[in-house]
Amino acid sequence: MDDFLAARAQMGVSLGFHIIFACIGMVMPFFMAVAHYKWLRTGEIRYKNITRAWSRGVAIFFVTGAVSGTMLSFELGLLWPGFMKYAGPIIGMPFSLEGTAFFIEAIALGFYLYGWEKLNKWFHWYTGLLIGLSGLASGLLVVSANAWMNTPTGFTYSHGQFTDIYPWKAMNNPAWIPQALHMILAAFVSTGFAVAGVHAWMMYRKKNIVFHAKAFRIAVSFAAVAALVQPFSGDFAAKSVAKWQPAKLAAMEGLFHTQSYAPLTIGGIPWKNGTGTDTTVGRLKYAIQIPGLLSTLIHGRADAVVTGLDKIPRDEWPQVGVVHMAYQLMIALGMLLFILAILSLCGVWRYRHWLNKPWFLKCHILAIPAGFLAIEAGWTVTEVGRQPWIIDHIMRTADAVTPMPGIVYTFYVFTLIYVLLSAMVIFLLYRQIKMVPVLYDIVSEKD
């Protein structure tokens, strides 16, 4: 592995781990706030116990997210100095604002964790809500910086120099809103179904059924509503990609030829045509294609022309196989979670006896990792689909990497750190789940 590949791999591993910690830390405070509100309104002790249990999970993911996020900030400067030299003055503002949101989140978390029985009950509840709001703001600001890499604006670029910099315009770049909306909904879907799945597992094992059923209803309601809205945000994001990053869209769909009546592709494996140097065009094997549907979805007309990879210079192609397969995985998992969302809402709001059915609980147990796998696939599409650019059509990734040797060794070290950090989180969460009945004096219950 050369140093350039090692630098890309290190950022990929770091982002892959951090995004999971960040999504859970960003979304779980809202679950906690709803449970807390229900306790304040109804006085039912189980909602207080759920709130206390979830608050410990929020604290765990806040700490791990802070550690992994700090490592990422160092990696940006150490691994990609060519990028930070020019991008820092342009997109430094959202990172600065994200730091402010992080400190507000930390202060609110301190008030919340140590404010039980000490603060006014509604002020205490508000601090819990503020944890979620500030975490959400952090996520939106970070996505703004990433979206700028996809649609760079807010400056004039001439002869290798960045001038006339407007940070507000850079932050409010064309890809920000569609990408942020898609990411926030994905965070609610993945975290909601994961939390609901854990509680479904406990219900399946007949452990404290009433307690876990109430927690399940809160988490799965958030997840299901977000999953039902997610396809619309995906359509919004895809239209943005088609307008600003046609090479990425072509790789996502495996569209090698520019054409009208462009088909929507389901599955398929990108395959090179010809031999030797004849690799400028290709095809998809084993794909199901619906004629005209991609043109209709992107442009509103079946006869509209969609740009294929044949119109993109060969040295500007992303890794088509990786992008296409990751995109197909994301779509497949999204559709499965969409179907599960319908079942979930039926079980929570209409057919409540389903909560006692093993098949219903097993569906949610199996779905625990699905949302996070979809997020990882989606970020693979976002990042690999932009290559070979670190700033789209402005700076190549290879031109931004550090000239220092030995990056491969830092890749191994950082990967080990993230693996150990993840193992620690899993251990702490497992212990927390086992200790719930002891910590909150919950007796065995039967429905």
pLDDT tens, the chain, 447 aa long? 788 888 888 888 888 888 888 888 889 999 999 999 999 988 888 888 888 888 888 888 888 888 788 888 788 878 888 888 888 788 888 888 888 888 888 899 889 888 888 888 889 899 999 999 998 998 898 899 889 999 998 888 777 777 788 888 888 899 999 999 999 999 999 999 999 998 998 888 887 788 888 899 999 999 999 999 999 999 899 899 988 999 999 999 888 888 888 888 888 888 766 443 334 457 778 878 888 888 888 888 888 888 888 888 888 889 888 899 999 999 999 999 999 999 999 988 888 888 888 999 999 999 999 999 999 999 999 999 998 999 888 889 888 888 888 888 888 888 888 888 888 888 877 777 766 554 544 544 444
> How far is the CA of 87 from the CAs of 74, 152, 192, 379, in angstroms?
15, 10, 35, 21
Q: Nearest to residue 268, comparing CAs of 246, 253, 248?
A: 253
Report pLDDT for 434. Answer: 66
pLDDT per residue as tens digits for the range 20-57: 888 888 899 999 999 999 999 888 888 888 888 888 88
pLDDT per residue as tens digits for the range 261-311: 888 888 888 876 644 333 445 777 887 888 888 888 888 888 888 888 888
Rounded CA gap, 44 and 357, in Å? 25
Residue 396 three-state SS: strand
**C-alpha count within 13 angstroms, C-beta hemisphere, residue 446:** 0
> How far is the CA of 76 from the CAs of 11, 12, 69, in angstroms?
8, 12, 11
**DSSP per position, 16-61:** HHHHHHHHHHHHHHHHHHHHHHHHHHH--HHHHHHHHHHHHHHHHH
Q: How many CB atoms lie under 10 A from the CB of residue 139?
A: 22
Do strands 305-306 and 259-260 pair parallel, antiparallel, or not at all (unpaired)? Answer: antiparallel
Report pLDDT for 348. Answer: 86
| 444 backbone dihedrals φ, ψ, rounded to 5° | -60, 135
Rounded CA gap, 245 and 200, in Å? 41
H/E stretch holding 223 reads helix 209-244
Q: What is the mean pLDDT of the chain?
A: 85
pLDDT per residue as tens digits for the range 317-336: 898 888 999 999 999 999 99
H/E stretch holding 374 reads helix 370-384
Report pLDDT for 171. Answer: 87
Query: What is the DSSP code (8-state) at residue 444?
Result: P
Rounded CA gap, 208 and 167, in Å? 52
Rounded CA gap, 237 and 176, in Å? 10
Residues 106, 108, 111, 117, Cα dihedral to 10°: -140
**DSSP per position, 137-179:** HHHHHHHHHHHHHHS--SSEEETTEEES--HHHHHT-TTHHHH
Rounded CA gap, 2 and 431, in Å? 41
Q: What percent of the chain has pLDDT over 90?
A: 26
